[in-house]
Structure 1
């Protein structure tokens, strides 16, 4: 990518990284080839960084920050400052004369900053701080009209308006305002009053004129309640008149009644309601009282009282002709009812609808007043955003575009704190959500990693700490330590999982010998355990023999005599074996002495043959040790191989050292006794050296 801006780079971790020198570098960060960025994505949570600032950078609010969002944040901040070097100064304050008005801004940030200071009676300060903006935000949130466009019943003392707002919330739902209080916004209010207007127009419609006297409305409602079942009854009777053989099929079968009878019956049972209104027969009339389906008895009684009696005359039954006449008489009223809007307001009378219509103007006026404060709130949010960017943006760039903060040991945002364990402090500790999933990828870092569960009261979290110095002989699951987070709080830490890798070539040099000693100790312990078991068995047998001594005395004497005999062949075999071993050792020692001046080289060769493979493997792994897989497993997208060499590793894991100025008392009252082992070993070593010198002298070697 071609760029007109001249960047400067520094090298760390085997990668060239951009150096942010001034505001111009920040303003032109979008021109830097993204192949040169250290990271391409990072999470907004689980890092030691201000979450509010990261949320401002995270434009799509997906919980991750990527280069386009960071570039946009840098360009936006530079566009609102006269001098982008302000971003290098840090701090959470901006002078009023440092703001630059962007084109098209109806409310410039400088004016909004001055407005904030005036409300706080600090207009002479000339500098606005993040604390000033947050105080103003809290004040706006507590004001009657806070600019979020959401109002609640408590916003007014007028009881009709309060009841209307409550009605809107009950029928349309509510939303939370910036204080977390339930209220209604413009969309909910407009939807409510649209339903009110629909009901008003329906009630005032011409088709409802015939229903306004109330009698026809009741008749139409009674007819509509049973219309489908009555139509079904007369249709069945017509089919029965067409063919008498269909009567049995048109009525309920005995099996149907048996199924109904097997249940616990009530009159509102849906199976009973599904039966015809009355027994089907050719030309039969519909009974309105006795003989009708009991599930429909009340609806038929209402039909007789509200529709049949007023419009046709008193009758306990009607035929199909009377039914059709009744339908014709209430047709216009039924059509009006069919056009009735279906909403939570459908059952309200015209007086209530008229009263609600009158409440539309005052409710919408309150919403408009609240919305008028919205632009100031939006600019106040932008002002907070700019102040946070001035304080945090440079630090974010040095932990994303480059890892300057990490390689200069200034505390990277992914470092969760310091783990103290096994006489070491580990500064490279990262938060972990899923240990099992994290370990799959983090193992590729070729680093010794200890996953720890940290507890502080009821709080729990998991971390992974990198051990990059010292040995790993006494690191194992279950060991306890103390973890200090970036806020200085202490946590109990317990190792739950360990990924072993070499920490240095020196540690790898001694590793084979430690394994050999450990193997000998295990073999000795195993043999000792076997001997102890054998001894216990012998003692048990002896105890049993003593218990039965009177019965087995003669046999025991014979056995003792047999065991007491010495096998001459066995003694001879042991002697031959010892002689062979001695001869081999003498031959080896003679050959070793014959090497003369090459003895040191031989010793070095033996040591190299033993430790060389381990050291070679360690050297290869240490060359591959990097930070990338560890952070990739935590949700980052690392762009290059961020190496952790031996020198950097030594600074990340510090071993215990006594301060130089400290006094040290060397006498240890509990030190182990030396005994004759050390003098004898020293004597043997001196004899060996003397023999070598004597041999060299015989060979007349210098």
Structure 2
């Protein structure tokens, strides 16, 4: 019984990741349940890897790689290698001895490798590199004769042969060539020659021999083509006329059925000539008569008069050798029989596809030298041609050797995501913004869908539009902020994005998913909100006071202007005295109200000062600290819960990944993904004391709050003990008094005298 396979896992965050470093680990992947894969599906454009390699894995051609496709790739690679050490080294050079010749595709890959080495003429016949394979692949795709003996026109040095190949492709379409264009295969050549001969034979049957006036196919000699065209112009209408005549001869009442329908006439617009012409073109040639004779002179449809006149002159006169004014059905059948041979010849042209090349060129191409030249090109090309499919198979084998383990280690497990010295395949680069480096960026194809999923990740996420400097298409990335503060991050802010190819690109924030970034920021958030509320209230009060002051000032200036505008000699009427007294009263009331307000404020300040002066400083610090803790504690608890729930899986799921595990942020990840780089060693002029002063103040406040709370509890305990002791003493005194009251009175006996 074989020993069970050992699966080695590592714990990262809150999930377990399979260790994938060797070919044996790849074998473990085949046996690992899908539920233990970190990812079971991923978008192809989300992986930074050789696109040709990814295309070889992607069997469904749907832009995604799923777990079964990766399993098939692993199974194929393990089967193709009998020496799997190259898989572990990620080599782009394959040892021919490492290829398993007994695998289904092993013989083909070995054949392609040996043929490449033979072509290159190198001394090393034991290894073949990816660069060598791709050079041959490009050569095969570009060469004028493919392994399937498809010859491109450029393969011919003779311009006549080259033009022949070009014409074959133009007329028959040709066969696909690896270069992406069409060429000429042996089948195409044979088909072209067959059609050329058929067309020339067909054309010859329509020719009039020298010395002859006509033939069966050309009954009117050189005039046959024009006469036949005139016949075709009216043939259907004349056939219809005689059919109507036969019907009327059988039943005269049927004549009414052949006239235009009332609905058709109602739809006719008498003001539209085009509409009238359309009705006439569809109407019969002439009214049907039981005698089955067509009067060529009267009652002819105006739309057919010209065509019928040409038919009479070019067909009837030469065919029947007489001038007619009436055409009987028997004569009509005689005319059609006269042109029957020509009609059959014209209706079935052979080699129509090559007819446009013309008789002269087709006769030239049928010369033996053309076919022989094309066949020689195909034979010579086949002798040295590679089987492109075998070359691609060898390329696939080398790519799998180089990339299969790294891709599995970024799909089945994600160790590189948790290693700050390495970059996972789905990472896009580093963002430099707001004095920080954000080292995790994931490509986003649909920002709206990504934002819906990222909102549940409890992470602060920025979406940026990246504009490559080389003019390539813009793209979007999602960048989580995992430590520090939000700082000045906001939509519209710009920075630079350094992709993993070291290309600097312009980047701009276009959307933000807001969540706590760090515990410290979450703790001070309530105080910031309180400050914003107070600031808003003060600004509102200030604005209101300014408006009232502006109103009062405007009113006062208005009254002064009114007084100045009155004539000096005019004595104000007595009735104006009460308003002046009222304004004086209002002014006095205002001053009195202001005095009361100031007095109330002063009393409040005095009361607060008196109250605080009566308290011990420890009580004051304890009260302030308790108030601060009452605000900070809930915020800290909520922030800790949210920060602990931060999940990198949502960032990837929004980009189209199917993630099984919860990928919690670790402390090294938080610090690395959002990093404040240190200043160079030996830097001067840096004012670091401000940071330490702020830390000292925070520590002092917290320490004061703790000490004050302890002191407060101790004082409360001492006071309670003192009260208890006083109560006990009072009870003891009361008991003593009760005992004295309960004892009998003592009698004083006078001393005896001797």
* TM norm structure 2: 0.76
Instruction: Give, in whole Å, the separation in 2 of the partners of 1:202 and 1:386.
Output: 55
CA RMSD of aligned residues (A): 4.8
Q: 2:330 aligns with which of 290, 296, 321?
A: 321
**Any gaps of 5 or more consecutive residues in structure 2?**
206-213, 567-571, 722-754
Matches within 5 A, 1:474-485: 474-485=488-499
Distance of aligned partners of 1:658 and 1:376 in 2 relative to their CA distance in 1, 3 Å threshold: same
1:550 aligned counterpart, secondary structure:
helix
Aligned to 2:731: none
Aligned to 2:631: 610
Instruction: Give, in whole Å, the separation in 2 of the partners of 1:444 and 1:149.
Output: 59
Distance of aligned partners of 1:151 and 1:304 in 2 relative to their CA distance in 1, 3 Å threshold: farther
Q: 1:500 aligns with which of 477, 497, 514?
A: 514
Instruction: Give, in whole Å, the separation in 1 of the partners of 2:87 and 2:62.
Output: 26
Distance of aligned partners of 1:214 and 1:288 in 2 relative to their CA distance in 1, 3 Å threshold: farther
* Contact residue 294 and residue 328 of structure 2 kept, 8 A: yes
1:465 equivalent in alignment to 2:479:
yes
1:215 equivalent in alignment to 2:219:
yes
1:426 equivalent in alignment to 2:430:
no
Q: 1:511 aligns with which of 505, 525, 537?
A: 525
Q: 1:662 aligns with which of 665, 668, 683?
A: 683
- For residues 116-161 of structure 1, give each alpha carbon's deviation from its aligned partner in whole angstroms, at most 9, with x where no partner exists: 2443343337543222222223333332214366543333356675
* Contact residue 215 and residue 306 of structure 1 kept, 8 A: no
Distance of aligned partners of 1:78 and 1:593 in 2 relative to their CA distance in 1, 3 Å threshold: same
* Contact residue 150 and residue 185 of structure 1 kept, 8 A: yes
- Offset of residue 468 of structure 1: 0.5
Q: 1:521 aligns with which of 511, 531, 535?
A: 535
- For residues 623-654 of structure 1, give each alpha carbon's deviation from its aligned partner in whole angstroms, at most 9, with x where no partner exists: 22111121111111112112224442222111
- Offset of residue 621 of structure 1: 1.7
* Contact residue 446 and residue 622 of structure 1 kept, 8 A: yes
Aligned to 2:558: 544
Instruction: Give, in whole Å, the separation in 1 of the partners of 2:158 and 2:717.
Output: 122
Instruction: Give, in whole Å, the separation in 1 of the partners of 2:597 and 2:558.
Output: 34
Instruction: Give, in whole Å, the separation in 2 of the partners of 1:566 and 1:280.
Output: 114
- Offset of residue 526 of structure 1: 2.8
Matches within 5 A, 1:578-589: 579=603
Matches within 5 A, 1:282-431: 282-283=290-291, 285-286=293-294, 292-293=300-301, 295-296=303-304, 299-300=307-308, 303-304=311-312, 307-317=315-325, 318-331=327-340, 334=343, 344=353, 376-409=387-420, 410-431=422-443
- Offset of residue 450 of structure 1: 1.1
- Offset of residue 276 of structure 1: 2.6
- Offset of residue 488 of structure 1: 1.7
Q: 1:637 aligns with which of 630, 654, 658?
A: 658
Distance of aligned partners of 1:573 and 1:376 in 2 relative to their CA distance in 1, 3 Å threshold: closer
Single out whichever of 301-310 and 384-393 deviates more from structure 2: 301-310
Instruction: Give, in whole Å, the separation in 2 of the partners of 1:304 and 1:429.
Output: 85
- Offset of residue 91 of structure 1: 3.8
Instruction: Give, in whole Å, the separation in 2 of the partners of 1:477 and 1:492.
Output: 15
Aligned to 1:59: 59
Aligned to 1:88: 88
Aligned to 1:621: 642
Instruction: Give, in whole Å, the separation in 2 of the partners of 1:58 and 1:492.
Output: 33
1:612 aligned counterpart, secondary structure:
helix
1:178 aligned counterpart, secondary structure:
coil
Single out whichever of 153-162 and 505-514 deviates more from structure 2: 153-162
Distance of aligned partners of 1:417 and 1:191 in 2 relative to their CA distance in 1, 3 Å threshold: farther
Q: 2:672 aligns with which of 641, 645, 651?
A: 651
- Offset of residue 307 of structure 1: 4.9
Instruction: Give, in whole Å, the separation in 1 of the partners of 2:169 and 2:295.
Output: 47
Q: 1:227 aligns with which of 235, 247, 261?
A: 235
1:116 equivalent in alignment to 2:125:
no
Distance of aligned partners of 1:181 and 1:273 in 2 relative to their CA distance in 1, 3 Å threshold: same
Instruction: Give, in whole Å, the separation in 2 of the partners of 1:697 and 1:266.
Output: 109
- Offset of residue 29 of structure 1: 2.7
Matches within 5 A, 1:148-227: 150-157=150-157, 162=162, 165-173=165-173, 177-183=177-183, 213-215=217-219, 223=231, 226-227=234-235
* Contact residue 41 and residue 66 of structure 1 kept, 8 A: yes
- For residues 666-686 of structure 1, give each alpha carbon's deviation from its aligned partner in whole angstroms, at most 9, with x where no partner exists: 499xx9xx9xxx9xx99xx9x
Aligned to 2:42: 42
Aligned to 2:746: none
* Contact residue 23 and residue 86 of structure 1 kept, 8 A: no
Single out whichever of 157-166 and 141-150 deviates more from structure 2: 157-166
- Offset of residue 286 of structure 1: 3.1
Single out whichever of 519-528 and 181-190 deviates more from structure 2: 181-190
> May I ask how many residue pairs the two structures share in their alignment?
680
1:493 aligned counterpart, secondary structure:
strand
Single out whichever of 493-502 and 258-267 deviates more from structure 2: 258-267
* Contact residue 195 and residue 345 of structure 1 kept, 8 A: yes
Instruction: Give, in whole Å, the separation in 2 of the partners of 1:257 and 1:342.
Output: 49
- Offset of residue 106 of structure 1: 8.3
Aligned to 1:489: 503
Distance of aligned partners of 1:58 and 1:353 in 2 relative to their CA distance in 1, 3 Å threshold: same
- For residues 199-243 of structure 1, give each alpha carbon's deviation from its aligned partner in whole angstroms, at most 9, with x where no partner exists: 6898899xxxx9754228867776555332111112333445556
* Contact residue 224 and residue 334 of structure 1 kept, 8 A: no
* Contact residue 42 and residue 64 of structure 1 kept, 8 A: yes
1:564 equivalent in alignment to 2:575:
no
- For residues 3-59 of structure 1, give each alpha carbon's deviation from its aligned partner in whole angstroms, at most 9, with x where no partner exists: 943221111121111111322222453222222111111111143222222112212
Instruction: Give, in whole Å, the separation in 1 of the partners of 2:187 and 2:634.
Output: 74
1:549 aligned counterpart, secondary structure:
helix
* Contact residue 289 and residue 297 of structure 1 kept, 8 A: no
Single out whichever of 250-259 and 145-154 deviates more from structure 2: 250-259
- Offset of residue 384 of structure 1: 2.0
* Contact residue 147 and residue 382 of structure 2 kept, 8 A: yes
Distance of aligned partners of 1:614 and 1:589 in 2 relative to their CA distance in 1, 3 Å threshold: farther
Single out whichever of 446-455 and 608-617 deviates more from structure 2: 608-617
**Any gaps of 5 or more consecutive residues in structure 1?**
none
1:443 equivalent in alignment to 2:455:
yes
Instruction: Give, in whole Å, the separation in 1 of the partners of 2:451 and 2:505.
Output: 22
2:564 aligned counterpart, secondary structure:
coil
Distance of aligned partners of 1:441 and 1:414 in 2 relative to their CA distance in 1, 3 Å threshold: same
Single out whichever of 105-114 and 641-650 deviates more from structure 2: 105-114
